[in-house]
Structure 1
Amino acid sequence: MANNRFKGITGWLHLWLGLIAGLILMVVAVSGCLLSFEDELELVFFKDRHFVRPAQVRLSTDSLFNIANSIYPGKKVSKLILEAEPELSAEARVGKGPEMKVIYINPYNGAILYKGLFQKQFFRTVRNLHRYLLLNQTGKAVTGISCCICLFLTISGIIIWWPANKKAVNQRFKIKWKAKSKRLNWDLHAVTGFYLSFFLILITLTGLAMSYDWVENLIYKLADGKVQKELLPKNLARSKKADPGVLQKMEDSMNKLYPNPGRLNFNIPPKGGQAIMGQKESEQLPPGCTNAAYFDSKTGQLIKQQPFATVSFGTKIKKYVLPIHAGSIYGLGTKILAFVVSLFTASLPITGFLIWLGKRKKKKKPRAVKCSSKILATA
């Protein structure tokens, strides 16, 4: 009896929370499908800004930096990205915050291939829809709550699905494709939901880590015993002017420190007295997990080398959060898996709504029969 009552309460909460958050979860899941292949689709949809004809000599990193700095007067380059593939353009991000601009540059002749607001790019809009529902901080709060609801729906779904006896075990693992529409819909919701639940728990937990600072801080405290703060080291030199070719010197140093091919990022701080951080990707590391080094922004002198292997355990977990959530952690295979999980997740609110609608109609029918029998009796 106690078990049935617990299942009943769980089912009631599962139903109504699912109805409340269903539409938001569908939007998040469908946008998640697109984001699973963001890198690949970006190159297909917007190839004019990404692909160039390689030449024998590439412009120096300082030249690319200066070109980008000249496009928006009064704003400074905050990030410069150099691709490993010779046929891809260089990317510069100018300024910070919602007004940050993006520029794509041909690294061989300096031609501007595209410039505009960073957040207005198609996949940035999809990402903002996925994380903020295009509503900034209000949307972030809504998706954060929806993520908590999704975690509850996943766990409660397993409880509801759990077979009551041994005879029902086989039925719960298979979809009866030849069954009537109501039974087929139930199977599509319950059986599919069960298989997805293992991945959904992982996706929602990583989603919570990106939505709430306290979850991220908890990761650091559990892994490292304290919350880590990323502080940029200060320059070694006191000079106010940067030496000529300083960024090219940093690029050469990064390639010596980390000789593997990979995308190279330079994060330029707004304050002139702080160091520049270089980050280089590697095929041996998931996306977003980079080998880094800090350089004096005026002289290009190496201040500190920081391979990914040497960062704290908490920092490693934090860096793994996004590739796990997006499905890019092990390349194409996990991307396809993330796409399929997101696609089927988008269908769960629909099949769940149809189950509720079917039960509602079923409850109304006896009342109609009762009413008609009373009319016949009085007649």
Structure 2
Amino acid sequence: MSSQTHPPESKKQLYAAIWRWHFYAGIIFAPFIIMLSVTGAIYLFKPQIENWIYQDYYYIQAGKQKISPSMQLGAVKKAYPQAKITSYKPSFEPNRTAEVGIQNGKQSLTVFVNPYNGKIVGKLNNEDRLMDKIEKLHGELMAGTIGDRLVELAACWAFILLITGLYLWWPREKNSLFGTIIPRLTKGTRTFWRDLHAVPAFWLSLFIVILILTGLPWSGLMGDWISKVATATNTGYPEYAFAWGPKPQSQIPTKDVTKVPWAAEQLPVPNSSSGVKTLSVEQVIHIADTRKVHPGYNIHFPEGEKGVYTISVSPDRPEDQATLHIDQYSGKVLADLRFKDYGPLAKAISIGIALHEGHYFGLLNQLLGLFTCIGLIVIAGSGLIMWWKRRPQGKLGAPTAPKNFKMTKWVSMIIIILGILFPLVGVSLLIVLLLDFLIIKRIPTLQQWVG
């Protein structure tokens, strides 16, 4: 006599409903997940890739005595007399060039200067940087706001796919390790692809969750929501970051001026006082060095009479991040924001971003990120292959919709919470529900094609 118990009909219907939702989401978002994983895997190794591609621009023979930063800027101005100098990154290693940002007509260029003799080593159009293109493809599909929303939607649904996938994977009527935590590679094609889809997802689930959640602060809607939460709860940048007291009159966020750490993106740019003579770049460097800003920082030059010098650096370890605003006339430090000043949420997000980009704990961080990206490609790819092999001829092959299915209170609550936490998911859920219940189920031909 068999002692095997069978799940009640309600659980079978819940399983069927979740499987159907998992299927729809997988078919739609698997291509996006694969693309994000490929571009993410490449971007993890940005330092190594750029050091190799631009080695002739980055590296020079170390000399004995560097010329002054003003002389370096003068060499650039001589080569580009019509250009406006916008930024300066001092050489931070004996064999590294200095980098000067200029606006030359409609082109934003980075000019690389030998700090020992002022010779221009080369220039790069900032729009032509390979890794910047990879970053735009990864973050917004090179499609601006629409692309950003699609990427955010795909990331949110990847999280839901993982949760629903783990529910479907969870062993119910078997105790075997094979097919649960060990893939069955010799049990036929269908079993092979099923296990290649499910088992790696279980092993990588924690890493996938971390990868998704640490990427969301960059997204448009979720990122803005997180930033507002940090501001409202005083867990972002503190008011005392402004060394001079009251908040500045300017409403321009620092991210609109130059690239800065996430926690400093919404830091308002203060205004400089009145004056006649602006600080020299040497004086700004002296302030940075006196305040022990981590080497590798970038100096953004003031924009207009009220503009300020902005010093920013985003090293591998977020604990070394710094963002300073300096009065261009008096040299007074108007704002000085460091990791120790961040609120709890800003600290957590800054560390999360470092983990996401693969530079928090060196090569091991990169390899773990790469392993997770490869795993996501295998999981999404095997899911698509599994569907392609099992789909009926001329049909989509969606799992059969459960009949007379009624959502329990906790399932309804989970859906509502997901819709609140991930606004785009809430909108997409509503659209899919309307399509499924108001259109697909009312058109027999379409219902038959869906399966």
TM-score range, shorter chain: 0.7 to 0.9
Partner Cα distance (1:330, 1:212) in 2: 27
Aligned to 1:140: 148
CA displacement, residues 54-89 of structure 1 (integer Å, 9 cap, x when unaligned): 111122223333444555555433332234222122
TM-score between the two structures when normalised by the length of structure 2? 0.71
Aligned to 2:278: 242
Paired residue secondary structure (1:40): helix
Which of 280, 289, 297 is residue 264 of structure 1 equivalent to?
Answer: 297
Aligned to 1:377: none
1:230 aligned partner, one-letter code: L
Please list, as runs of the form range in 1=range in 2, the aligned pairs for 1:71-220 lying within 5 A after superposition: 71-72=79-80, 75-95=83-103, 99-165=107-173, 167-168=175-176, 171-220=179-228
TM-score between the two structures when normalised by the length of structure 1? 0.83
Q: How many residues align?
A: 358
C-alpha distance 76-321 of structure 1, shift in aligned 2 (>3 A): farther
C-alpha distance 81-359 of structure 1, shift in aligned 2 (>3 A): same
Partner Cα distance (1:121, 1:111) in 2: 22
Aligned to 1:294: 325
Whether contact under 8 Å (1:262, 1:281) holds in the other structure is: no
1:357 aligned partner, one-letter code: W
- Which stretch shows the higher mean deviation, 11-20 or 308-317? 308-317
Partner Cα distance (1:267, 1:213) in 2: 28
Whether contact under 8 Å (1:69, 1:94) holds in the other structure is: no
Aligned to 1:313: 344
Partner Cα distance (1:325, 1:115) in 2: 30
1:277 aligned partner, one-letter code: T
Aligned to 1:251: 285
Which of 17, 23, 30 is residue 9 of structure 1 equivalent to?
Answer: 17
CA displacement, residues 312-340 of structure 1 (integer Å, 9 cap, x when unaligned): 33433443343132222222111110111
Partner Cα distance (2:37, 2:80) in 1: 36
Name stretches of at least 5 consecutive residues in structure 1 with no aligned partner: 365-379
Partner Cα distance (1:68, 1:144) in 2: 40
- Which stretch shows the higher mean deviation, 154-163 or 221-230? 221-230
Paired residue secondary structure (2:63): coil
CA displacement, residues 337-368 of structure 1 (integer Å, 9 cap, x when unaligned): 0111112212222200121123225999xxxx
Partner Cα distance (1:262, 1:341) in 2: 31
1:335 aligned partner, one-letter code: Q
Which of 23, 45, 52 is residue 53 of structure 2 equivalent to?
Answer: 45
Which of 374, 386, 393 is residue 355 of structure 1 equivalent to?
Answer: 386
1:32 shift after superposition: 0.7
- Which stretch shows the higher mean deviation, 178-187 or 146-155? 178-187
1:182 shift after superposition: 2.5
Partner Cα distance (1:148, 1:77) in 2: 41
2:362 is equivalent to residue 328 of structure 1: no
Which of 254, 261, 269 is residue 232 of structure 1 equivalent to?
Answer: 269
RMSD: 2.9
* Identity score, percent: 19
2:386 aligned partner, one-letter code: I
Please list, as runs of the form range in 1=range in 2, the aligned pairs for 1:20-31 lying within 5 A after superposition: 20-31=28-39
Paired residue secondary structure (2:306): coil
Name stretches of at least 5 consecutive residues in structure 2 with no aligned partner: 1-8, 238-265, 396-451
Partner Cα distance (1:39, 1:202) in 2: 22
Partner Cα distance (1:53, 1:4) in 2: 70
1:264 aligned partner, one-letter code: Y
Aligned to 1:276: 309
Whether contact under 8 Å (2:178, 2:184) holds in the other structure is: no
C-alpha distance 224-57 of structure 1, shift in aligned 2 (>3 A): farther
1:102 shift after superposition: 2.0
- Which stretch shows the higher mean deviation, 10-19 or 291-300? 291-300
Whether contact under 8 Å (2:91, 2:97) holds in the other structure is: yes
Aligned to 1:372: none
Paired residue secondary structure (1:102): strand
2:355 aligned partner, one-letter code: I
1:219 shift after superposition: 4.9
Paired residue secondary structure (1:87): coil
1:286 aligned partner, one-letter code: P
C-alpha distance 318-198 of structure 1, shift in aligned 2 (>3 A): closer
Partner Cα distance (2:335, 2:217) in 1: 29
Paired residue secondary structure (1:262): coil
C-alpha distance 163-312 of structure 1, shift in aligned 2 (>3 A): same
1:274 shift after superposition: 2.5
1:23 shift after superposition: 1.8
Whether contact under 8 Å (1:75, 1:94) holds in the other structure is: yes
Partner Cα distance (1:269, 1:290) in 2: 21
CA displacement, residues 129-168 of structure 1 (integer Å, 9 cap, x when unaligned): 1112222333222212222221221221111111114514
Partner Cα distance (1:69, 1:139) in 2: 38
Partner Cα distance (1:123, 1:281) in 2: 17
C-alpha distance 111-346 of structure 1, shift in aligned 2 (>3 A): farther
Whether contact under 8 Å (1:177, 1:184) holds in the other structure is: yes
Partner Cα distance (1:363, 1:304) in 2: 64
2:358 is equivalent to residue 338 of structure 1: no
